[in-house]
Amino acid sequence: MNLATIYNIFIRDFRKQKKRITLTLVALAWGTISIMLLLGFGEGLHQQLSINRKGMGEGIVILWAGSTSLPYKGLPKGRELAFTADDIDYLKASMPELAEVGGEYSRWGVEVRHGNSVVSEHVTGITPNYETMRNHIPEMGSRMVNELDMQQKRRVAFLGDELKNRLFGDEDAIGKQIFIRGLPFTVIGVMQHKMQMSSYSGHDLNKVSIPLTTFEAVFGHRYLNNIIYVPTDLNNMAAIERRIYEVFSAKMRFDPDDDRAISVWDTVAGSREFTNILFGIKLFLGIIGGLTLLIAGVGVANIMYVSIKERTREIGIKMAVGGRKSYILAQFLIEAFIITFVGGFGGMAVSYILTEGFQRIPIESDVLDFMGRPTISLEIGLVVIGILGIMGLVSGLFPAMKAASVSPVESLRYE
């Protein structure tokens, strides 16, 4: 086999058949681009949804005290129950199966002021573990309420990011003073922006959070609005819930079977449904992607195949004037590889540029918060190129191999 010969013939024909080759290239690139973008945006959406659902916190259960609906040990039904700050420690001490327990006070319509900006907002008194349990993640260079703040009942405030903007605009808030109900507080932290899809007391981005103990001192509340916990084992939710009733039944005196006494929101159960939805989205994208791939593959195969009649004659002619089978197949093989390589990787490069460009679009919008950032996956790209390449190769090379294997007369006669 002589490489120079193969090269000479290949280059010559390649230049001559630009139209067909360009068409095949474009079909392959187009197929790659559409699948890459589809899956890229799908993956972005998927990731974003996964992030968003964590906005309120992951694996948390929220407890509210209710009122009794059954008489208990001589006490009548219809008694109002309430949690106190002690109950947080009591629950933690009674139930080792809880990884974290926290709680909060809430008050709406509190005047919060900085300079000339005055807003009427929601103030919560919280435990420091809200940082992880409820995703009160501080922005860089700031912090959340900590244990020391709690012990010393410090007048420190952690602001939701949108509230910070309303009070401070672009100005840095950390270390500055705000007035809550006329009392000065030092801003220690601003919450990192998060997309929160569910809530039980308004979205966190417009809240002021202060230490639970400070809240008690400032507002004189005696009863918590709710308690939240994260169990160590997410697969054991029902049993843990039962234990909660038993533990509080003794302390607050209600029938442990009285399910009105405490209401429970198990976000983990909802989260399972959400996982199914996410899986559904993935499956849907997978199916659409597969079908698109098939269409693109058929397109490539079709172009290859349509040109086969012409090419079979071409092979017949070349063999008739003395072309060896190996030269002819080498030419086809190189051609198919170049088309696959240029078309496939070209398509991948274009997809990459498009998604990168999309990510650079400097818009802060809620739509983007939901859609997420498209992510191109190299693996998917390689699989796509591989499949399209193989389809093109098979539909182009097999007929060529057949044409080169029969006598030249037969290929010349091909209609």
Measured from the CB atom, the residue of 13 and 100 that comes closer to another protein is: 13
Question: What is the Cα Rg of the chain in Å?
Answer: 34
N-term to C-term CA, the chain: 30
At closest approach, how far in Å is the CB of 374 from another protein? Answer: 41
Residue 396 sits in the site that holds another protein (CB under 8 A): no
Which of 13, 162, 259, 369 touches another protein by CB under 8 A?
Answer: 13
Q: CA 317, CA 409: separation in Å to the nearest integer?
A: 9
At closest approach, how far in Å is the CB of 326 from another protein? Answer: 8
177's CB contacts (< 8 A; 6+ apart) are: 114, 184, 185, 186, 187
Measured from the CB atom, the residue of 125 and 316 that comes closer to another protein is: 316
Which of 232, 233, 325, 356 touches another protein by CB under 8 A?
Answer: 325
Q: CA 374, CA 362: separation in Å to the nearest integer?
A: 15
DSSP 210: E
At closest approach, how far in Å is the CB of 390 from another protein? Answer: 27
Stretch that binds another protein, among 216-224, 273-281, 361-369, 404-412 (CB under 8 A): 404-412
Q: CA 387, CA 392: separation in Å to the nearest integer?
A: 9
Q: CA 140, CA 190: separation in Å to the nearest integer?
A: 9
Vertex 116: Cα angle to 114 and 122 (nearest 5): 45
Which of 122, 207, 243, 318 touches another protein by CB under 8 A?
Answer: 318
Location of structure tokens 């068409």: 23
Residue 16 sits in the site that holds another protein (CB under 8 A): yes
Q: CA 29, CA 23: separation in Å to the nearest integer?
A: 10
Location of structure tokens 């006329």: 182
Stretch that binds another protein, among 242-250, 285-293, 321-329, 392-400 (CB under 8 A): 321-329
Greatest alpha-carbon span in the chain: 110
Residue 407 sits in the site that holds another protein (CB under 8 A): yes
Measured from the CB atom, the residue of 326 and 377 that comes closer to another protein is: 326
Do 137 and 167 touch, CB atoms closer than 8 A? Answer: no
DSSP 76: P
Which among 100, 104, 87 has a CA at the least distance from the CA of 61? 100
Which of 141, 170, 321, 361 touches another protein by CB under 8 A?
Answer: 321
Q: How many residues interact with another protein (rule CB under 8 A)?
A: 29
At closest approach, how far in Å is the CB of 4 from another protein? Answer: 7
Stretch that binds another protein, among 9-17, 40-48, 200-208, 365-373 (CB under 8 A): 9-17
Measured from the CB atom, the residue of 134 and 318 that comes closer to another protein is: 318
Residue 264 neighbours by CB distance under 10 Å? 15
Residue 242 sits in the site that holds another protein (CB under 8 A): no
Site for another protein in 190-229 (CB under 8 A): none
Q: CA 229, CA 98: separation in Å to the nearest integer?
A: 7
Residue 334 sits in the site that holds another protein (CB under 8 A): no
Distances in Å between the Cα of 39 and the Cα atoms of 35, 287, 361, 392 are: 6, 11, 20, 22
Cross-strand bridge partners of residue 191: 138
Measured from the CB atom, the residue of 8 and 232 that comes closer to another protein is: 8
At closest approach, how far in Å is the CB of 402 from another protein? Answer: 14
Residue 310 sits in the site that holds another protein (CB under 8 A): yes
At closest approach, how far in Å is the CB of 408 from another protein? Answer: 5
Which of 323, 344, 347, 374 touches another protein by CB under 8 A?
Answer: 323
Residue 409 sits in the site that holds another protein (CB under 8 A): yes
Q: Which two tokens stand for residue 399?
A: 């007929």
Q: CA 366, CA 305: separation in Å to the nearest integer?
A: 47
Residue 316 sits in the site that holds another protein (CB under 8 A): yes
Which x/- pattern, by CB under 8 A, does the window 252-291 give for another protein?
Answer: ----------------------------------------
Which x/- pattern, by CB under 8 A, does the window 17-46 give for another protein?
Answer: x-----------------------------
Q: CA 113, CA 168: separation in Å to the nearest integer?
A: 10
Site for another protein, rule CB under 8 A? 2, 4-5, 8-9, 12-13, 16-17, 310, 313-314, 316-327, 407-410, 412
